Amino acid sequence: MTVRRVAVVGAGSSGLACIKICIDEGLEPVCFESSDDIGGLWRFKESPEPERSSIYRGLVVNTSKEMMCFSDFPTPADFPNYMHNSQLLQYFRLYAEHFNLLKHIHFQVISVSPSDFSETGQWEVVTINKNGDWVRHVFDAVLVCSGHYTHPVLPLSDFPGQLTNFSGRCFHSWEYKDADAYRGKRVVVVGIGNSGGDIAVEISRSTFLSSRKGAWVVGRMSTNGLPLDMTAITRFSYLLTLLLPKALINWAAERALNYKYDHRLYGLRPAHRLLDRSPLINDDLPGRVLLGGLVMKANLRGFVDSGVVFEDGTVEENIDAVVFCTGYRGTFPFLPPALSQGPYGELTLYKRLFPPSLQHPTLAIVGLFQTKGPIMPIAEMQARWAVKVFTGLSHLPCKETMLDITESERKRNMKRYKASRAALQVDYIPYLDFMAKEVGVRPNFLLLLLRDPVLWVKVVFGPCTPYQYRLTGPGQWAGARHAILTQWKRVAQPFKTRAVPEPETRASVLFNPWLLALGGSLIMTMLLSRNKISLLR
């Protein structure tokens, strides 16, 4: 059975990447999108729509442009390093335009239900469009890219019976758009995830941020003001995490964080260690705590008439609104129920991609994972691997092996992350490298060192940007090397808005031996952190 026609469900960032990869591999993608536009989560809507993800007006990404772009399409150099949601959507539009993807998308297809003919591995896909027209299609494979931030989790039942008398408004962050309605209001924000942090900061006039666990808070801005992920996600630092004891890394990194602001003093300190969970990415939150507009509180216990009670017994009266930033659940009601066979009714997926129970590996779920890095490069690599498996160029182990591996990875994750959606966690570089090896695009470091030592240094010590997976092998991109060599230039570009005058120097000062020695040691320090030096050129 040769695979030719592939159905792609959803035209968010994952769906767009899937369409592009299918075309690259000579397949015929047909994408079904239930809304009337591309972009998925990143297309801001004034009011939330049921069963769809919904973001707030001010949302700015927490991953930087060079790290989160697709591997053969760098973000425009003049875009800011951390894009506003509208700019990220603009990037996806440029991508779709550049690779001519729109003509493969059918919009306003409100229902897609694939069911497999297990004999052949093909899929019958019934679609219904907004006019109610039913169409039956046959596809050789299906890529599901429908997103998983669609169903808000609102744990009101944790506060039984008491809500009825509460006079304020209670709602999920899914409904939150901006702070306009909360000017001069007293608001409690429940949950210290990325949304909780953002929303608390946006409202912060008299806002209470209630958190059971606390969080380690890191800024987008790393040393020298460079993007955090560009300095943190490098192959070299990954190697260090393998070599050094975890306790030592935790100790050193927590110390560095507390050096900026003491997490205990600020009421943020969690019981868990830094590496045990994803940290909260927020630049403004500690500043708001310092100014007193934002007040850290214990976990919410319940409601009283017009106020709320926290677990430490303290009460805040006259609360106008409570925003629950308590996360999301993804559901895949349109898939055959046999696929949702995990212990908690979730989808069991081999390597977070393939349902092991299918007789033929002709369906993959793209984008259903979490990681301490950007989503897009991983989703793109998932698509590249899935297509190789569909076309028989890469093979999966037998069903039992896949189930065993999936279960042991789930257990390891539960132990390591202890969070509710721990099973979804993947490690950024190892997971990308694993898939890249399957696809045949993992860089060969020894060969690279011998052939191109300059590039080798950038690849090993510099940020693990997606271009690394376009250097060799199938899908190789001629621009990949150049993209890596110029990545720090594109980081610097949006800052170049003012010509910075050179400091005035006098010749006599330059030849002062003490200053020469100082300069020499400065240069040594900079050489040791190589990735930053290219900015100075």
Ligand X SMILES: *[C@@H]1O[C@H](CO)[C@@H](O)[C@H](O)[C@H]1NC(C)=O
Ligand Y SMILES: Cc1cc2nc3c(=O)[nH]c(=O)nc-3n(C[C@H](O)[C@H](O)[C@H](O)COP(=O)(O)OP(=O)(O)OC[C@H]3O[C@@H](n4cnc5c(N)ncnc54)[C@H](O)[C@@H]3O)c2cc1C
**Contact with ligand X (CB under 6 A): which of 26, 50, 132, 161?**
161
Cα 277 from chain centroid?
Answer: 14
Integer Cα distance of 51 and 367 in angstroms: 17
Of 158-166, 169-177, 347-355, 381-389: span binding ligand X (CB under 6 A): 158-166
Integer Cα distance of 129 and 121 in angstroms: 25
**Contact with ligand X (CB under 6 A): which of 173, 206, 210, 278?**
278
Amino acid identity at 61: V
Pick one of ligand Y, ligand X, none as the site partner of residue 281 (Cβ within 5 to 8 A by kind): ligand X
Taken in order 248, 252, 257, 259, is the CA torsion positive or negative? positive
> Of 416 and 530, which has the nearer Cβ to ligand X?
416
Interface with ligand Y, residue 374, by CB under 6 A: yes
Interface with ligand X, residue 162, by CB under 6 A: yes
Number of residues that bind ligand X (CB under 6 A): 13
Integer Cα distance of 242 and 501 in angstroms: 44
**Contact with ligand X (CB under 6 A): which of 195, 394, 406, 425?**
195
Pick one of ligand Y, ligand X, none as the site partner of residue 214 (Cβ within 5 to 8 A by kind): none
Report, in Å, the least distance between residue 15 CB and ligand X. Answer: 18
> Of 92 and 139, which has the nearer Cβ to ligand X?
92
Between the alpha carbon of residue 334 and those of residues 11, 118, 125, 150, the distances in Å are 16, 17, 10, 14
Neighbouring-strand partners of residue 73: 70
Interface with ligand X, residue 194, by CB under 6 A: yes
What DSSP state is assigned to residue 267? T
**Contact with ligand X (CB under 6 A): which of 370, 472, 486, 493?**
370
Pick one of ligand X, ligand Y, none as the site partner of residue 147 (Cβ within 5 to 8 A by kind): ligand Y
> Of 72 and 229, which has the nearer Cβ to ligand X?
229
Which positions from 186 through 205 interact with ligand Y, judged by CB under 6 A? 195
Report, in Å, the least distance between residue 20 CB and ligand Y. Answer: 13
Report, in Å, the least distance between residue 152 CB and ligand Y. Answer: 10
Element (H, E) at 231: helix 228-232
Tokens of 422: 């721990």
**Contact with ligand X (CB under 6 A): which of 118, 165, 420, 512?**
165
Between the alpha carbon of residue 159 and those of residues 126, 247, 272, 491, the distances in Å are 42, 37, 25, 47
Interface with ligand X, residue 193, by CB under 6 A: yes
- Contact (CB, 8 A) for 385 and 475: no
Interface with ligand X, residue 373, by CB under 6 A: yes
Pick one of ligand Y, ligand X, none as the site partner of residue 362 (Cβ within 5 to 8 A by kind): none
- Contact (CB, 8 A) for 169 and 321: yes
Interface with ligand X, residue 306, by CB under 6 A: no
Pick one of ligand Y, ligand X, none as the site partner of residue 192 (Cβ within 5 to 8 A by kind): none
Q: How far apart are the first and last CA of the chain?
A: 54
Look at phi and psi of residue 225 and say left if phi exceeds 0, alpha if psi is from -120 to 50, else beta. left
Tokens of 163: 């809500």
Amino acid identity at 441: V
Pick one of ligand Y, ligand X, none as the site partner of residue 370 (Cβ within 5 to 8 A by kind): ligand X
Crossing angle (nearest 10°) for helices 13-24 and 376-390: 40
- Contact (CB, 8 A) for 491 and 535: yes
> Of 141 and 281, which has the nearer Cβ to ligand X?
281
- Contact (CB, 8 A) for 498 and 474: no
> Of 112 and 187, which has the nearer Cβ to ligand Y?
112
Report, in Å, the least distance between residue 252 CB and ligand X. Answer: 20
Total count of residues recorded for the chain:
537
Interface with ligand Y, residue 149, by CB under 6 A: yes
What DSSP state is assigned to residue 113? E
Interface with ligand Y, residue 34, by CB under 6 A: yes
3-state secondary structure of 454: helix
Which residue's C-beta sits nearest to ligand X?
194
Which positions from 98 through 117 interact with ligand Y, judged by CB under 6 A? 109, 112
**Contact with ligand X (CB under 6 A): which of 63, 150, 413, 425?**
63
- Contact (CB, 8 A) for 336 and 200: no
Residues in contact with ligand X by CB under 6 A are 62-63, 161-162, 165, 193-195, 278, 281, 370, 372-373
Residues in contact with ligand Y by CB under 6 A are 9-15, 32-35, 40-42, 52-53, 55, 59, 61-63, 68, 109, 112, 145-147, 149, 195, 334, 367, 374-376, 379
